[in-house]
């Protein structure tokens, strides 16, 4: 995990060469699509290394480059590429790693668009994927084939928070020369360091904690420069999901307070999870740092703390009751996504027909009465009071 003295340096100073821009404390937004060259010889030399030089902003840009250096340092990675979304970062990592006839192993229930990439899009190009319950590393081992090139992890996932043992999966993969990719959006670079545990590539939906203000969609991919150069020459440049200099600047502005926000949301989320678990109208709470979580020991070993996201199932007989509860919330906005300064509620019911039965006997990886909460930076007691009055409606 990054040591906190380093963390302050990374977020406040790393990559910022203020003498180059008049001592300005905030970096300039170099809103230019192209950069010109001093001579043909200069042009020839720099165009040969678009990954590192400034030539064309789909590839690299000086404002974007500061952000890349900061995120790489946060993950303890050699380098980082940033993208126009987290989905683009994950798609680029995967498509750079596999070819037709090859195979991917992925955890069950990854982020929805990661699932669509692996289950629907890539099979059209001859890449197969097996989804496995990643709570037991033996399941991953059993799914490996001679054609397996990549293992896709997401620990924990962002709905019911199943974990994978990163060190165990990494050693399994390394022994067989298989690349590993971990979506670290939930833990953020502050609470979990997959690269230190032997994982090759780390992806982020930077839309979530890294930016933290619900005003930018962005992604990041961290890892060894050799792999990132491969990603750059392949999907990064051909699909062209680059982050604009302005969005990179907003991201850096958001990241100044990353530590404050992540610590605050995580502390409040634990308090709220404990409060919900003790509430008579709550059937179940999902949160890695609750002793009731099936992988609590692994969560404590692998993550400093949990994030600001948690899920709970209120004791509701009907979807209508879940709706009454959620509609009564005043401090939580009803929305998708998470990781911003503001608290959000996202009920599974919003994605189901209103007459869906809430039946405890049905298979329940994600029950219809599940409500996911993203805890922002508001006072935890204010949020608890709001949840209390909403739970009174059922
Ligand atoms: C949101 C999210 C993504 C996708 O990121 P976008 O920035 O929305 O493209 C990927 N993984 C997880 C865990 C997410 O929550």
List pLDDT tens digits, range 188-226. 999 999 999 999 999 999 999 999 999 999 999 999 999
> For 61-83, what is each residue's pLDDT tens digit?
999 999 999 999 999 999 999 99
Rounded CA-CA distance 272/376 in Å is 12
Region 163-181 average pLDDT = 98
CA 47 to chain centre: 32
pLDDT for the residue numbered 157: 95
Q: Identify whether the C-beta of residue 346 lies closer than 8 Å to the C-beta of residue 334.
A: yes
Q: Is 162 a residue whose pLDDT tops 80?
A: yes
Q: Is 93 a residue whose pLDDT tops 60?
A: yes
Nearest to 49 by CA among 57, 35, 60, 40: 60
Q: Is 379 a residue whose pLDDT tops 60?
A: yes
Q: Which of 89-103, 167-181, 275-289, 352-366 has the lowest mean pLDDT?
A: 352-366
Q: How many angstroms separate the alpha carbon of residue 133 from the centre of ligand 1?
A: 20
Q: Which of 4-13, 118-127, 293-302 has the lowest mean pLDDT?
A: 4-13
44: part of which helix (H) or strand (E)?
helix 40-47
Confidence bin at 365 (pLDDT 50/70/90)? low
Ligand 1 shell residues, CB under 6 Å: 85-87, 111, 154, 158, 183, 185-186, 205, 207-208, 217, 219
pLDDT for the residue numbered 359: 79
Region 14-32 average pLDDT = 97
Q: Tell me what the pLDDT averaged over the chain comes to.
A: 96
> For 134-158, what is each residue's pLDDT tens digit?
999 999 999 999 999 999 999 999 9
Q: Whose CA is nearest to atom 2 of ligand 1?
A: 205
Q: How many angstroms separate the alpha carbon of residue 206 from the centre of ligand 1?
A: 8
Region 168-195 average pLDDT = 98
Q: How many angstroms separate the alpha carbon of residue 393 from the centre of ligand 1?
A: 32
337: part of which helix (H) or strand (E)?
none
Q: Which two tokens stand for residue 49?
A: 């290394």
- Percentage, residues of the chain above pLDDT 90: 94
Q: Is 3 a residue whose pLDDT tops 80?
A: no
pLDDT for the residue numbered 361: 64
Rounded CA-CA distance 333/376 in Å is 11
Q: How many angstroms separate the alpha carbon of residue 183 from the centre of ligand 1?
A: 9
Residue 311 is classified by DSSP as E
């Amino acid at each position: 995990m990054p040591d906190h003295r380093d963390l302050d340096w990374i977020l406040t100073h790393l990559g910022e060469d203020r003498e180059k821009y008049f001592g300005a404390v905030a970096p300039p937004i170099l809103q230019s699509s192209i950069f010109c060259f001093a001579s043909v010889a200069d042009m020839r030399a720099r165009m040969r290394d678009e990954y590192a030089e400034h030539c064309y902003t789909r590839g690299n840009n000086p404002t974007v480059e500061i952000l890349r250096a900061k995120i790489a340092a946060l993950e303890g990675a050699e380098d980082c590429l940033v993208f126009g979304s987290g989905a683009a970062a994950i798609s680029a990592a995967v498509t750079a790693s596999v070819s037709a006839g090859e195979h991917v192993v992925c955890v069950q229930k990854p982020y929805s668009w990661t699932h669509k990439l692996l289950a629907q899009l890539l099979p059209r190009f001859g890449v197969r994927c097996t989804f496995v319950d990643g709570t037991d590393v033996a399941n991953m081992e059993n799914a490996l084939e001679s054609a397996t090139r990549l293992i896709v992890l997401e620990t924990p996932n962002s709905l019911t928070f199943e974990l994978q043992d990163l060190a165990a999966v990494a050693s399994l993969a390394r022994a067989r020369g298989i690349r590993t990719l971990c979506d670290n959006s939930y833990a953020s670079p502050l609470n979990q360091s997959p690269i230190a545990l032997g994982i090759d590539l780390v992806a982020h939906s930077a839309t979530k904690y890294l930016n933290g203000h619900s005003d930018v969609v962005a992604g990041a991919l961290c890892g060894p420069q050799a792999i990132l150069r491969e990603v750059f020459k392949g999907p990064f440049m051909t699909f062209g999901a680059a982050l604009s200099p302005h969005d990179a600047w907003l991201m850096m502005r958001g990241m100044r307070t990353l530590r404050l926000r992540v610590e605050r949301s995580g502390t409040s989320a634990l308090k709220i999870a404990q409060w919900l678990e003790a509430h008579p109208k709550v059937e179940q709470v999902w949160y890695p740092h609750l002793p009731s979580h099936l992988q609590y020991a692994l969560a404590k070993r692998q993550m400093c703390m949990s994030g600001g996201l948690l899920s709970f199932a209120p004791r509701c007989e009907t979807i209508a009751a879940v709706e009454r509860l959620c509609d009564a919330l005043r401090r939580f906005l009803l929305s998708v996504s998470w990781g911003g300064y503001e608290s959000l509620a996202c009920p599974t019911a919003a994605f189901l027909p209103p007459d869906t039965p809430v039946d405890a006997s049905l298979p329940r990886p994600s029950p219809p009465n599940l409500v996911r909460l993203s805890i922002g930076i508001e006072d935890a007691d204010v949020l608890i009071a709001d949840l209390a009055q909403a739970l009174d409606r059922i």
